[in-house]
Amino acid sequence: ILNVEQSPQSLHVQEGDSTNFTCSFPSSNFYALHWYRWETAKSPEALFVMTLNGDEKKKGRISATLNTKEGYSYLYIKGSQPEDSATYLCALHLGDSNYQLIWGAGTKLIIKP
Amino acid sequence: EAGVTQFPSHSVIEKGQTVTLRCDPISGHDNLYWYRRVMGKEIKFLLHFVKESKQDESGMPNNRFLAERTGGTYSTLKVQPAELEDSGVYFCASSPRSRGLQFFGPGTRLTVL
């Protein structure tokens, strides 16, 4: 059974502080890693799709790195704002004929004003 | 461009009843996916359509679940008869490519009493 692990499960951060959290996954048969941001009752919003070892992607104050050899990705948020409060989900695409995403349980981020 | 839409947004039914969820993907997206998130747990893959064909239905829990995509446009997911453990949020996503970015709908929150 493949497991995608996210840590921490939840995180409280003071407004203005920077933060980061982790997605760990099996390094064999890797194809791509997706990061999504999800606010309850809304559509999960795609942040990044990362495929290459060493990839770094950035979108505004949010950035992500990827290490496929050791099987982890970090998501960073710089200068957290209240609107960053959401659950951040990572999902793995394997390099076989199976096209489904394998999901972590998410990191719930709460920004305290 | 319209995003992925799902109907209804919420459904509350009693155990033993039937419910049909609908997903309208982004126009032109051949790939359509159904996922489910049970409260507090990770999102789980249910199945994947390419046009009107089921590419992968390995995630369907049992034969009480039936998904269709007639004509390769919208899709329905029927649960008959519903059980308590079917409660959760059912997401639909679509993508133009099988391993590309997936665009999600807002989900249908199903509660089985």
Q: In this structure, which amino acid lies at residue B94?
A: S
The pLDDT of residue B84 is 95
Contact B54/A at CB under 8 A: no
- How does pLDDT run across A60-100, given as a tens digit for each residue? 999 999 999 999 999 999 999 999 999 999 999 987 767 88
- Cβ <8 Å between A100 and B45: yes
Q: What is the pLDDT confidence band of residue A1, given thresholds at 50, 70 and 90?
A: low
Q: Is the peptide bond before B106 cis (omega within 30 degrees of 0)?
A: no
Query: For chain B, what is the radius of gyration of the CA atoms?
Result: 13
Contact A46/B at CB under 8 A: yes
Contact B105/A at CB under 8 A: yes
- How does pLDDT run across B70-98, given as a tens digit for each residue? 888 999 999 999 999 999 999 999 999 88
DSSP string, B22-91: EEE--TT--EEEEEEE-TTS-EEEEEEEETTEEEE-TT--STTEEEE-GGGS-EEEEESS--GGG-EEEE
Containing A92, the helix (H) or strand (E) segment is strand A86-94
Q: What is the pLDDT confidence band of residue B69, given thresholds at 50, 70 and 90?
A: very high
Instruction: Search chain B and give the residue with CA nearest A9.
Output: B40
- Cβ <8 Å between B99 and A93: yes
Burial, B91: exposed, middle or buried (Cβ in 10 Å; 0-12, 13-18, 19+)?
A: buried
